[in-house]
Structure 1
C-alpha cells in the first residue's frame, strides 16, 4: 500500500493558502478567505476551469497525482484534503500520464489494429444516418468505430455491429414505453459508449434525439435540471434517457416538464422485456427519410426561451460531406476528441463525421482533458491521430499547463488538421501553441481556424488543410469607426506580433464549405462589398429550417431566404473574418452563455436595484477568452454589506452559469444605461466600463430620461395604432363566433337527423363567413357525384372544417384523429355530425380502422379525409396519407379532390388572431380507382394531390 503523503498537521493550512492565492488571482481585491468547509463554487467563485488550475497547483505543490474524479466530486477544501490523504506520492506527469492515453510505460509505440484498416469508398448514396450505418454494416460490421479511453488503464471499444445491436435494443425498449415516430427523446448522458447506442436507438424508433448538457457536479443536479426544464417543455419529450445520478429526481422533473412520462437509463432500457430478442424481431426499424428530423440541437444557454435547432438527415449529411470534401477527410484518418457529445462540434463534427467517413474515433471525457490536457496529446501520439477539433481555450490550456513539462517521446507529426472553432480564435494562442509543440513534430500548417454554428448543422467555413493560419492586419480606427477593413500593409499575413495599437489582427476562417454561400449585409439588409464589416448571413443545404416549436425565433432567423448568424464579419478574397458578435453572448470555454437569466437573478438580491444589472463579456487580449463582467447598481455604502452582496452575486452566477464573474462592479444608481423602452444597453455599459466612465454623472439626466420615455411612448402608441385594426377585427370575429357556436351546439344536440344538423351548420357557417367579410369563391359543386364518394381535401388551418361546412350543401362524415375525443363536449358535437375517429389514416397499418371506414363508406354519406393528416404555420402542400385511397379502392368509390385556398392566411397554426382574407374552394372532377394494387393506390394518390396542388395556392412542400 502506498504511504499517504499527508502527515503534517500544517497541510490543511498549506492547502487553504493555495486556494486563497488562486482566488486572489482570479478576483483581485476580493475579501473572501477559504475555510475547510466553504464551497469552492458558491463561496469562492471557482468555476470548472478554475478548479482545473487548482488541481494542477495542488499536484505540483504536493508531488502527487489525484484522480480526475476529484474535479467532479470535490465540493470543499476538506474534500480536497481527503483526496490528498489517499494520494500516493509521485510526479503527476510521469508514466501514468502516458498510460492514460494508452501508451506503454517509457515507450513511444503506436497502435496498429488490422480490424481498423479502412475500406474503399464512402456512403455517398446514403440519404439518412441510418443508411450510413447500414453501409458500414454491409462492408465491415466488426471494424472498430469508437475507442473510448474510460480510465487510466481501461479502453472500451464499439464496432459498427455493436452500435447497431445496442441501438435495436434501445429502440425496442422505447417503443415499449410508448414512444411514437416523431416524438422527441431527451438524452442527458456523460461521454461514453451508452450515448452512441442510445442516440441511434432513438433514430431506430423513428424518434428525434435531443442531446442535453449533463450536470457537472453532484451538488448541482437539482439546480441544473431546473434550468434544463425549459428544453424538456419545449421539445415535449415523453422520455429522458439519463444516468443513475439523475434518475431519482424523476418526480421533480415530471413536475417541471408535464409532458415527461419516463426517466430511464441505458441499463434499464437494455434490461427491458421489450428489448428481448423476440420483441425486437417483431418491431421493424423505422424507415427514415432524408427530410425527417434527425436531431434537435439546443443552443447553449437555452433556458428561458429555448432555441432548438431542427436538423434533418439531409442537413447533417450535407454538412458532413461538405466538411469532408473541404478538409480532405478519408477513412484512414483517426479523429481524437474530448469534446462533449451534447455539443454540435463533438456530436456532429467528430462523431457523426467519423461515422460517415469510416474514421476511427478515439474519445475521452471532457473532464479527463480538463484535468490533464496532456492526455489529448498523448492519445494523438499513441493512436496516430490526424484530425481533431477544439475551442481556442483548449489550445491555450495546453500551452499554459504543459510548458516546461516532461513530454519526452511525444510525437505529433501525424496531426494534420487541428480545427479551432466554437469560440473566437486568438492568433496569439495559435502562435504560442505552434511554437510550444513544434519540437514534438507539430506542423504549423495543421492549425486550422474554422467557423460554424448550430444553425448550419456545425461547420460553415474552413481554410484549405495544411495552409496554416492566415492573419489579416487591418487599420483599427477605420475598422471600428467606419466598418472598413483596410489592410494595414496591403496584404494578409501568416502571423506576426507587430501590433502597434493601430493595427488589428484578425484570423481568416477560410471560404464557405462547398455548396454554401456567404454574404455581408448592412443594417438595412443590403449586401456589402468585400472588406466592409456588416452582419453575416448564409445559405446552403446544411441550413436548418428553423427552431423547434419556436416560430418567433424562427421568423427572426431568416432574411430574404438567408439565415442570420448574429455575427459581424467581413469577406476578403472570398474568406471570412469575424470581427465581433452581434448576439449578446458571452463565450467561455466553448460555451455560449446568455446574460438574461443571471441579470434577473442578481436583480432579486437584497441591495441591488431591480432591473439595473448588466452582464457582458470582455475579450482578454492575452488568452482570447471572454471575461465575465457584472455591473449592478446599489445604494449600499457599508463595506461589510457590499462584501456580502459581492458574495451573493458570485453564488448567483455559479447557480445560473456554473461560472464566477471575473469582475464585479457595484455601481451607483443610474450607472447601468438603458434604452428608451427600459432594455439594458449592454454594449454601451461595456464601453463605459472599458473607458473608465462607468457611473459618471450625466448632465440633465432627468431631461434625457424624459425624452427617452416620450420617444418610447410615441413608439408604443404608434405600434398599437398600426395593430389596432387587426385587433378590432379579431374581437369582432370572436364576438360573433361565441353566439353562433352556441346556437350550432344547441341545434346539433337537439335536432334528430344528420341532414337537419348539417343544414343548420351549413347556414350558420355561411352566415359567419359573411359577418367576417371573408369572400368565398366556390367552384365545381356540379362535379360532386350523385351517389356515394370519397372527398379528399388539403389541410392548412383550423377553419378548414367551417369553410367546407359553408360550401357543401349535403352531409359528409369527417375523418378525425382520436385526440379530438378527449374533450367531452367536442366529442359529442363531432359524433352528432357523423365524424369518424381513427388512429391512423394509413389503413395498411390498421385493419380495424380499415373495417370501420369501409362500414361508414357503405352507409351512403361521403367520407371526407384531410389527406395531409396535420398542418402547421409553414405554407406548402405536404405528403398525402394512403388511407382515403385504400378505402376508395376497396369500396369502388370515386375520389373527389377538394382544394382549399386562403384558409392558412385567415387563421394560422399557433395563432388565435384571425385576419380578413379571401377564401376559395375548388371541387375537381372525380377520379375512379384503377384497382387495389399498391401501385394503383400510389397513382391515385398522386393524381389527386396534383389536382389539389394546382388549385390550393401553395407550393409543393415535397420539393423543398
Structure 2
C-alpha cells in the first residue's frame, strides 16, 4: 500500500510539471494530460520543449536522467518508468508504476473489436453496456460480461454448424440483444458478419428475402441468422443463393462454449457494410478491424467522449451510423448505450427526446430528417417536462444537413434546455468506416452564406453580398479527423483552391480497401491513393462544406437508397410502364429538406385506379426501404427523361419535376439526342482542353527547370561561394518564374532590417525556396536552415553548401540544444538566416504549429525576427504532386519583432507573436487552433 501511495505521488509530481509546460506551450488549449498522452502527437511537444521538460524533471526529482532513455520516451508513463529506475538506483527500493485511473482507462492496445469486448468483459463484466428498450418501453440491461458470454455460445453453435474461418454470415434481425450477441458471435467464430435490414412486415418476408439475393450472392453468405418465420422460405432462397448452407435462428446456434479455431487479426475484414440495393451492382464495403478502431479513436479524439457520457440511439444497427458510431463507439469508450428500436422512433418521435431527458443523455445522433420531424411535428404537450440540458453532442449526419432544420430545432427546444452549441453537423461515409470530418465540440453550427449566382454558374463559393434571394446557406461539417485528409478536385483531377467547388476525395487510416468481389466498383472508387466520396463541396478556412452528390445515391432517413432497385420494383406493378420510373431526391420548398420522390408513368386515367396505384407504390417503398415516399407522381407516358440509350436521366427528371415540366409535351427524341450530344461534346472538349492545358504548363515548367535549373545547380556545386551563389540563384529564379508566367515582386533592400536578423516564413511547397531567392534582394545574403537529411545526399549537399546552408538535426531531444547553439553561432557571426518554423509542409492548406528552435536561438543571440508570408506556392505545386499548376505567387514582409529576453517563457511569447503576424500574411487558416498538427519532418 505504501509503494502504491509513493508511486502515485511521483506520478502526480510528473504530471504537474508536464501540465505546467503544456499550458505554457499552448495557452488555453485545454490539452488533456495523462500518463498515456503522446508527448508529440497529443501534447504538441517538439524537441526543444521535450528538452525543457527534461530539465524541469531533473530539477523536480534532483537528478540528471539518461538523455537517450528520456529522448526515446513517447508518453509520461515512459518517463515515469525512467524515474522509477532512477529512484530504485538511489534507494534500492523498486517503485511500482500505477496504471491509469479506471474511469479514464481505454482498450488502447486492442487491435480488434473482439479484443475491445474482451477487455471490457475482463475489467468490469457486471457493468451495463446497453440498456435495451422494448416495444412496451420496458428496459433490459445487457452487461459486458453477458454480451461476451452469449456471443461465445453463438460462436460455438456456428462452428458446430460448420462455419469456416472468414466465411460470411448474413445477419437479419431487429435491434436488440439477439442482434448484438449474434454480431460478435459471428466474429468470435472467425466469420464475417453481413448486416442487412429486417422486413417491416413479416407477411412479405419471402419477397423481402428475395430482394436481398443480390447482396447474399455477392457476399457468398454461408449462413443467414434471422427470425424463425424465415425458415419457411429457406428452400426458395437457397435456390437463388448457392453459397447459402442454412437459414438459422438464435435457437439453432445457442450452444455451450467450445474452443475457437481462428482469432481475427487487425488486417482482417471485420464486417461487410453494403451501401447499395440487392439488384444491379451490390457494393459491400470491406472494413477491417484496423479501419474501425482507427475511426473510433479519431472520432473520440474529435468529440472528447468518455465513460461518463450516455449515448441514446434509435438508429438501425444495419446502418453504419448506428452500428459503428453508436454501438461500436459506445463499446470502445465504455459509454452506456441506451438503445431503442427505429420503429419506436418512427411511430412516436417524442420517444427519442423523452429518452434523452429521462436518462440524462449526453450524446445522440440522427439524420437531418429526424431533427426536422421533431422540430415541425411535436406538439406542445410533447415538450412538457422535457429536459435536454444534458445533451452536449447532437450529431447530425448521414444525409444532407439543412440550415433551416438546425435553426428550427434549436429554436423549438431552447425552452427545454437544448443548447445551440450542442448541434454538431458531421460528415462521413461507409467507405471511411463512418466518420470523416467533425467540428470542434461545443462550437455549434457554422453556416457559410455564399453567392447563389457564383455557386451555380462559376462553381465558386464566394461570400454573399446581395440580398436574401441572391444567397445560399451551406453548413460546415468541420475538419478532417486526425489521421485523415480531404481534398477537392476538378474534372481533370487537379486539386482546387479554397472556395472552389469540386469532387470530394479523402484518404486515411479508416479508408476501405474496396468493395467485396466487385473490382469494377472498386476501380471507380479509387483515384490513386485517394477515394472518391461521390459528393461535391468546397473547403474554407480548413472546414468542409458539402454542396451535393455526384452519384445517384439518395440519403433519406439515415439510409442509403439507390434508385435502381426501387425503380425496378415499382416498374413491375401492373399499370405502371416498365422501365419508366424515376426515383430521386426533391427539395421541400417549405424547409429546404430533401424529399424522396417517385415518378412513374402510367396510361391509366380513372381517379380511383390512380389512387390505388399510388398506394401500391408506397407499399412497395415501405417494404424495400422501410419508409414510404414523400411524393408519388403518376405522369403520362413518355414524360420521364432518358438518355439516348434508354437510361433514366434522374437529375434532369428532378429538375423537370421541380420546374413543373413533367406534364409538358416531350421534346422530340431527335431533338433530345441532339441537345444531349451537343452538351456532352462541349463538356468533353472543355475538360480535354483544361487537362491538356495543365499538362502543357507542367511540361513548360520542367523544360525551363532543365534548361535553367540544372546548369545553375552545377555552378553552385562548383563555385562553393555563398555570395556569388545567392546572386546567381536570384537571377535564375526570377527568370524561371517570369518565363513560366508566375513572376513574383522583388523586395527592396531598404524594406529589410540593416542589422542581423532571422527571417521567418510559412512553408507550403518545394517552390518556397525558389520564390524566396527570387523575391529577396541579391545584395543580401541569406542562408537557409535545412534538415540534415539533405546533407546525406552528395549532390544536394554540395549545392546547398554552396549557398551557405546551415544543417540541423531532425527531431532529437538529445541534439536539440546543440542545434540551437549552431543557429545562434551563425547569427552571432552576423549571418542572416531563413527558417521555416513549421518544419515541414503538406498538401493540406493552413499554418501548422511552430517549433521552438528559431525563437530560443533568437532570444539567446538577441537578434530580431523579421516576419514574412508566402502565398500561392501550395496551389502551384502541392505536396505529393510533380505537376506544377499556374498560380499567382506572392511574398510580403510583416513587422520586425525584437527578442525580449533569454528565457523559455519569453521565447514562447515571441513564438506566439510571430505566428500571429505570419498568419495574417500567408492568407491561410490556423491548423493549430483546434488540433495539434501531425508532422512528418521536424527541425528544432
TM range (shorter): 0.5 to 0.7
1:525 to 493, 510, 520: 493
**1:595 maps to which residue?**
563
* CA gap 1:597/1:119 in 2 versus in 1, 3 angstroms: same
Question: What are the equivalent positions in structure 2 for 1:126-275 lying under 5 Å apart?
Answer: 126-152=110-136, 154-270=138-254, 275=255
Q: How far is the alpha carbon of 1:138 from its aligned partner?
A: 3.0
Q: Aligned partners of 1:655, 1:285: CA distance in 2, in Å?
A: 39
8 Å contact kept, 2:327–2:337: yes
2:256 matched to 1:276? yes
Cα distance, 1:408 vs structure 2: 3.7
Assess, with a 3 A threshold, how the Cα gap between structure 1 residues 474 and 698 changes in structure 2: closer, same or farther: same
Within 5 Å, give how 1:62-461 maps onto structure 2.
119-152=103-136, 154-270=138-254, 275-277=255-257, 280=258, 283-284=259-260, 286-461=262-437
> Which deviates more, 373-382 or 329-338?
373-382
Query: What is the deviation of 1:165?
Result: 1.0
* CA-to-aligned-CA distance 1:820-850 (integer Å, 9 cap, x gap): xxxxxxxxxxxxxxxxxxxxxxxxxxxxxxx
CA distance in 2, matches of 1:382, 1:164: 28
Tell me: CA distance 1:331–1:586, structure 2 relative to 1, closer, same or farther (3 Å).
same
User: The residue matched to 1:488 in structure 2 has which SS?
Assistant: coil
Deviation string, structure 1 residues 324-371 (Cα, Å, up to 9, x no partner): 000111111111111111111111101111111111111111122222
Tell me, in whole angstroms, the C-alpha distance in 1 between the residues paired with 2:122 and 2:222: 33
Alignment of 1:663-702 (within 5 A): 663-697=631-665, 701-702=669-670
Q: Deviations over 1:545-567 (max 9, x none)?
A: 01111111111111121111111
1:297 alignment partner, SS class: strand
How far, CA to CA, are the matches of 1:610 and 1:154 in structure 2? Answer: 46
How does the TM-score come out when normalised to structure 1?
0.58
Q: SS of the residue aligned with 1:692? A: coil
Aligned to 2:475: 507
**Aligned partners of 1:366, 1:452: CA distance in 2, in Å?**
21
> Aligned pair in 2 of structure 1 residues 264, 677: CA closer, same or farther (>3 Å)?
same
User: Does residue 465 in structure 1 map to residue 456 in structure 2?
Assistant: no
Q: Which runs of 5+ in 1 are unaligned?
A: 1-116, 491-498, 714-960
Inter-partner Cα distance in structure 2 for 1:624 and 1:252 = 44
Q: For the Cα contact (< 8 Å) 1:653–1:661, is it kept in 2?
A: yes
Secondary structure at the counterpart of residue 674 of structure 1:
coil
Which SS does the other structure have where 2:293 is aligned? helix
Tell me by how many angstroms 1:700 deviates: 6.0
* Matches of 2:562 and 2:349, distance apart in 1: 27
Contact 1:424–1:624 (CA<8 Å) still a contact in 2? no
Cα gap change, 1:441 to 1:252, in 2 (>3 Å):
same
Check conservation: 2:603, 2:636, Cα contact below 8 A.
yes
Q: 1:372 to 1:262 in 2, by over 3 A?
A: same
Distance (Å, rounded) in 1 between the aligned partners of 2:117 and 2:605: 65
1:239 deviates by 1.0
Local SS of the residue matching 2:212: helix
Q: Give the TM-score taking structure 2 as reference length.
A: 0.59
How many angstroms apart in 1 are the aligned matches of 2:607 and 2:495?
Answer: 53
| Runs of 4+ in structure 1 over 6 Å off | 706-713
Q: What secondary structure is seen at the aligned counterpart in 2 of 1:336?
A: strand
Does structure 2 conserve the Cα–Cα contact (< 8 Å) formed by 1:586 and 1:626? no
Correspondences of 1:795-810 after superposition (within 5 Å): none
Q: 2:548 and 2:108 mapped to 1: Cα distance?
A: 37
Question: Is contact 2:213-2:278 (8 Å) kept?
Answer: no
Residue 586 (structure 2) aligns with:
618
8 Å contact kept, 2:449–2:472 = yes
Q: Following the alignment from structure 2 to structure 1, what is the Cα–Cα distance between the partners of residues 671 and 362?
A: 63
Does the 8 Å CA contact 2:104/2:306 hold for their aligned counterparts? Answer: no
Paired positions, count:
582
- Corresponding residue SS for 2:134: strand
Q: Secondary structure at the match of 2:251?
A: helix
The 1:250–1:698 alpha-carbon spacing in structure 2 relative to 1, beyond 3 Å, is closer
- Sort the Cα spacing of 1:691 and 1:707 in 2 relative to 1 into closer, same or farther, 3 A: closer
- 1:699 offset after TM fit, Å? 6.4
Q: Equivalent residue of 1:238, what SS?
A: strand
Which sits farther off after the overlay, 462-471 or 678-687?
Answer: 678-687
Which stretches in structure 2 are left out of the alignment for 5+ residues? Answer: 1-100, 682-940
Instruction: Give the superposition deviation at 1:656.
Output: 4.2
Per the TM alignment, residue 465 of structure 1 is displaced from its structure 2 partner at its CA by 0.4
Deviation of 1:590 after TM superposition, in Å, equals 1.4
* Deviation for aligned residue 1:667: 3.9
Cross-structure match for 1:861: none
The verdict on how the C-alpha distance between 1:444 and 1:638 changes in structure 2, with shifts beyond 3 A counting, is closer
Aligned-CA RMSD value: 2.7
CA distance in 2, matches of 1:260, 1:623: 46
CA deviation after TM superposition for structure 1 residue 252, in Å: 2.3
Superimposed CA distance per residue, residues 723-752 of structure 1 (whole angstroms, 9 cap, x where no aligned partner): xxxxxxxxxxxxxxxxxxxxxxxxxxxxxx
Show the counterpart of 1:554.
522
1:481 has 2:457 as partner: yes
Structure 2 distance, partners of 1:592, 1:293, is: 22
CA distance change for structure 1 residues 140 and 680 in 2, over 3 Å: closer, same or farther? same
Q: Can you list the C-alpha shifts for 1:627-672, whole angstroms capped at 9, x where unaligned?
A: 2333344555566665565555445545544544444444445432
Q: Give the distance between the partners of 2:446 and 2:261, measured in 1 at CA.
A: 47
Whole-Å separation in 1 of the counterparts to 2:411 and 2:323: 30
Residues 488 and 254 of structure 1: CA distance in aligned 2, closer, same or farther (over 3 Å):
same
Instruction: Give the distance between the partners of 1:287 and 1:617, measured in 2 at CA.
Output: 43
1:601 to 1:158, Cα distance in 2 relative to 1, 3 A: closer
Aligned residues of 1:393 and 1:623 also touching (Cα < 8 A): no
Q: CA deviation at 1:286?
A: 2.7
Residue 681 (structure 1) shift: 1.6
Shift of residue 693, structure 1, vs aligned partner: 2.7
Kindly state the Cα deviation for residue 626 of structure 1 after the two structures are TM-superposed. Answer: 2.5
Residue 536 (structure 1) aligns with = 504
Cross-structure match for 2:905: none
**8 Å CA contact retained: 1:234, 1:549:** yes
Paired with 1:131 and 1:645, the residues of 2 have a C-alpha distance of 52
SS at match of 2:468: coil
Tell me the equivalent position of 2:737: none
CA distance in 1, matches of 2:278, 2:542: 33
- With over 3 angstroms needed to count, the CA separation of the structure-2 counterparts of 1:398 and 1:711, relative to structure 1, is closer
Distance 1:419 1:375 in 2: 18
Structure 1, residues 740-792: CA drift from partner, whole Å, max 9, x if none?
xxxxxxxxxxxxxxxxxxxxxxxxxxxxxxxxxxxxxxxxxxxxxxxxxxxxx
- Alpha-carbon distance in structure 2 between the residues aligned to 1:367 and 1:664: 23
The alpha carbon displacement at 1:387 in A equals 1.0
Partner of 2:59: none
State the Cα deviation string for residues 292-348 of structure 1 (Å, max 9, x = none).
Answer: 010111115343321111100000000000000001111111111111111111111
Counterpart of 1:940 in structure 2 is: none
Q: Structure 1 residues 410 and 452, CA, compared in 2 at 3 Å: closer, same or farther?
A: same
Measure the CA separation in 2 of the matches of 1:131 and 1:664.
48
- More displaced 10-residue stretch of structure 1: 648-657 or 350-359: 648-657
Superposed displacement of residue 594, structure 1? 1.6
